[in-house]
A and B are shown apart, each in its own frame.
Chain A
Amino acid sequence: MYTLPNKVKLFSIILMVLGLVGIAYGFFTVPSTIDDVEEILAAENAHGDGHGSASGKEHAAQQEHDANFVDVARGQEGYAENALKHEKDVHMDGHGDAHLEHVLHQMQSKPWSATFVSAFFFFMLALGTLVFYAIQYAAKAGWSPVLYRVMEGITAYVLPGSIIVFFIVVFAGTHFFPWQNEELVANDKILQVKSTYLNFPFFLIRAIIYVLGWNLYRYFSRRNSLRQAEVDNYDPYRKNFKISVYFLIFFILTEMMMAWDWFMSMTPHWYSTLFPWYVFASIFVSAITAIALVVIFLKGRGYLPFVNDSHLHDLGKYIFAFSIFWTYLWFGQFMLIWYANIPEEVTYFIIRIQEYNLLFWGMLVLNFVFPILILMNSDYKRIPWFVVMAGIVVLVGHYIDIFLLVMPSTVGAHWSFGITEIASIFFFFGLFIFVVGTGLSKAPLQPKGDPFIKESENYHY
């Protein structure tokens, strides 16, 4: 039996408290009026901060330069400007100090976005693990049953994680989802067409279905898995096989809608058919990485004597393979939009390349170049610290990925990485450690009675 060490428990609680304080600070320091915004922008301007200053010819010139890089590449003037204007129209109310009001909204969205990015990031580790777990059952995998308890420990976070994420998306309102602003929809024909799908009651019902479905599967699969250790037939296993298959169907559909609802509708004019699968790739690869890290942690402390380096090797291969898969989907989406260059679609990447340049390309290095170089060699995949190193890079990379899904759509150019962002990582990381640690300590870490457990224990590659 594993017990969460007091030191780790204390560490997680400190993280949570620090995080909470930081998040609260973020919410309290949000500007509430246009005047506040003017002050902040003036201060930023004085510091010579590149992004986010409102007045001054210098800034206007800079902005024009930024906007024109697409025009230069395309050999056509005014193209990028129109595309960006089109994008901004969605967020603006269009009267009075439109620009300042727009900035105000973005700044007010900042603490919400910071919290959401971290909340979703840690939640997706658990959710992706749940999917990986279901796949192992559905595929009748012979190598992974020894890891079932570890995966179940991680998926303990599905319940608290999904509830928090649920409340954030439901209460964020127009901070995230401009289509929830009735005034805006009244003046926007495209949003009116979409309102059959993008309306709050339906949005709420869908979110409830996703969260409920995912949690139900987690509850029943865990129950069957524990029961399998006690009985001397395979009935619980067979049940788990069945519900895993149905869960996977449910998941692919709900994940698709979840990606539309929670991420794509942040820029409600923009659409991309690949988007849900791209989000899935990010969820999946980060989750496998999380499994590997938890396994290495527990094995290092002697809790998993039945896990050998072949199991680690396989996890390493999955991280490697799905890093490439993520890159494949990233490239598929990016390249096709870049190539066709349709104004409605390119806005998504224009803002990310202009305002988040380093993060946007840096993410590719972390999520692709690094794992492919580190995890190519099969000997390296058996060395725990190597996998840990690659794993941390991949997780950082995918945090940035989620950051880039959310921030450009909600806070636009006025992003920064400060107290609120770090504090929310602290809080959710602490919560994750606490919940997963407690989840792991509820049952013996060695699964028993699974029909493939012996194959798994004797597994050597």
Chain B
Amino acid sequence: MSSHYEAPIREPLVLGEKSYHDITADVSAPVLGKANKSWWIVFTIALIAFLWGLGCIIYTVSTGIGVWGLNKTIGWAWDITNFVWWVGIGHAGTLISAVLLLFRQKWRMAVNRSAEAMTIFAVVQAGLFPIIHMGRPWLAYWVLPIPNQFGSLWVNFNSPLLWDVFAISTYLSISLVFWYTGLLPDFAMIRDRTKSPFQKKIYGILSFGWTGRVKDWQRFEEVSLVLAGLATPLVLSVHTIVSFDFATSVVPGWHSTIYPPYFVAGAIFSGFAMVQTLLIIMRKVSNLEDYITVLHIEYMNKVILLTGGIVTVAYITEYFIGWYSGVPYENYTYLSFGAATGPYWWAFWALIICNLIVPLTLWVKKLRRNIMWTFFVAFIINVGMWFERFDIIVIDLSKDRLTSSWAMFQPTFVDIGTFIGTIGFFFVLFLLYARTFPVIAQAEVKTILKSSGENFKRLRAEHGDHVDHNV
């Protein structure tokens, strides 16, 4: 596909004097080693949060949706906010894997595995909400068009909530397949390296007998490319469909045609912020600083800047068109003068500060390459994007057309507990993943070692572009 030549002006993506073996050893170390105390502490906390959330869910389903803070005006609040937030986070994973693959970005190789894992775990959290926010979740299977005894009573295909069912389930399955295919060579690597017969058995099964023949690799590459080509429109359409939940309605503020691309941009924005949050910790605790370098963090910050900029332009558009439309109802939408000064002013300004103002600091190269600052900004963006969804849903619903049905929303402990529970569940899954999966796609990183490895770049600088590198 490409030669080993790379412009000297590009910064190295793999630091240190790495050989192929070093990569294998570094990536497999966390899987082959034992968990330390702090892992167990964090895991326990996450597990408790998860169990608490599970309790909240069971309480909701067995008692009724009334235990949440919803009212007759605001029928969607934390449930759908969290749903959209989690789905949005899930998008960066596929973006890194698929879109960056299509754009031949070599830096994706160090981050794609964890980003995809994050996608899958985030989509699992998201997938809970459409079920548990139902009044009668035990009839959830009615959303599927299955022939039945009610004279074959079918679903109405006009509802975006039904499209959600198809979108999310397709998205989860394609992401899983995409992720798993990429894992085959890496599972095979663990299989071949482990000394424990139990691990050998497990990874032998997981790696599907991968032997790495030329023909296998050729097909592997083709499948990756095709899946990337399919996943890219998928990632755009899934969040588009999620945005249709609002945009197809006639609620002022919800009915806005910019929603599809704007939600997608916001999803990438929030997703990358979550990847930053996770990887900054992971590179430290798993000793992967040579692979997930400051350059990777800077690149991700640039994507955050780009998508944050697009989201900002969309905010400006929403605000402007809300005024330009001349429709009086538009003055109570989530981006309007009314929202900035109304009862939800704090949510409006939380959105502006977290999504617009704080990320602007990333324009400064020093801050963009500062790991602590990046971690802070990424956290703030995650908060801000939660507020964006909350604002869209709750502010727009709270003051709709009839003043007699204006209302405020107050979450109960069950709303909050369920959300905390999904965060706990997410980290339970992610922590288990970090201990059992090769968190960096070592097979892929090896393909860029000679073009983008620090030592090889130095060799080329000293001896010219055509020296033969033998490791």
Contacts and interface: CB of A to CB of B under 8 A. Distances in A.
B256 interface: yes
Contact of A256 (B256, B261, B313): B313
B257 interface: yes
A332 B260 contact: yes
Nearest to B158: A339
A275 B313 CA distance: 13
A194 B317 CA distance: 15
A180 interface: no
Contacts of B436: none
A197 interface: yes
Contacts of B326: 189-190, 193-194
Given A256-B317, A273-B257, A336-B259, A342 B5 contact: no
Interface in A362-397: none
A340 B236 contact: no
A249 B309 contact: yes
Given A234-B9, A249-B309, A275 B257 contact: yes
A337 B257 contact: yes
Contacts of B7: 142, 451-452, 454-455
Contact of B5 (A324, A335, A337, A455): A455
Interface string A309-343: 00000000000010010001100110111011010
A32 interface: no
Interface string A266-293: 0000011111110000000000000000
Nearest to B8: A451
Given A193-B326, A197-B324, A252-B313, A340 B250 contact: yes
A277 B261 contact: yes
A26 to B, nearest CB: 33
Interface residues of A, number: 41
A250 to B, nearest CB: 12
Secondary structure call for the A interface: helix
A336 B324 contact: no
Interface in B152-175: none
Contacts of A452: 7, 9
Interface in A242-263: 249, 252-253, 256, 260
Interface in A131-160: 140, 142
A204 B240 CA distance: 36
Contacts of B261: 274, 277, 328-329, 332
A340 B317 contact: no
A454 B317 CA distance: 41
B2 interface: yes
Contact of B236 (A273, A277, A328): A328
A39 B7 CA distance: 70
A328 B260 contact: yes
Interface residues of B, number: 38
A333 B257 contact: yes
A436 B318 CA distance: 38
A273 B9 CA distance: 41
B313 A273 contact: no
A239 interface: no
A460 interface: yes
B258 interface: yes
A341 to B, nearest CB: 8
A277 B318 CA distance: 13
A452 B313 CA distance: 31
Interface stretch (B38-46, B208-216, B241-249): B241-249
B224 to A, nearest CB: 14
A461 interface: yes
A329 B3 CA distance: 37
B248 A276 contact: no
B233 interface: yes
Contacts of A337: 257
A340 B250 CA distance: 6
Nearest to A189: B326
B233 A273 contact: no
A337 B309 CA distance: 26
B326 to A, nearest CB: 4
B255 interface: yes
A415 B256 CA distance: 30
Contact of A274 (B233, B236, B244, B260): B260
Contacts of B248: 335-336, 339-340
B260 A340 contact: no
Contact of B255 (A328, A329, A332, A340): A340
Given A253-B313, A271-B324, A454-B7, 5 more contacts: A190-B326, A234-B9, A277-B261, A336-B256, A340-B248
Interface of B: 1-3, 5-10, 102, 233, 236-237, 240, 244, 247-250, 255-261, 309-310, 313-314, 316-318, 321, 324-327
Interface of A: 140, 142, 189-190, 193-194, 197, 234, 249, 252-253, 256, 260, 271-277, 321, 324, 328-329, 332-333, 335-337, 339-340, 342, 344, 451-452, 454-455, 458-461
The 7 closest A-B pairs by CB, nearest first: A273-B258, A274-B257, A332-B260, A451-B9, A190-B326, A339-B248, A274-B258
19 contacts: A142-B6, A189-B326, A194-B324, A194-B326, A234-B9, A256-B313, A272-B257, A272-B321, A273-B318, A274-B256, A324-B233, A332-B260, A336-B260, A340-B250, A451-B7, A455-B5, A458-B3, A459-B2, A460-B3
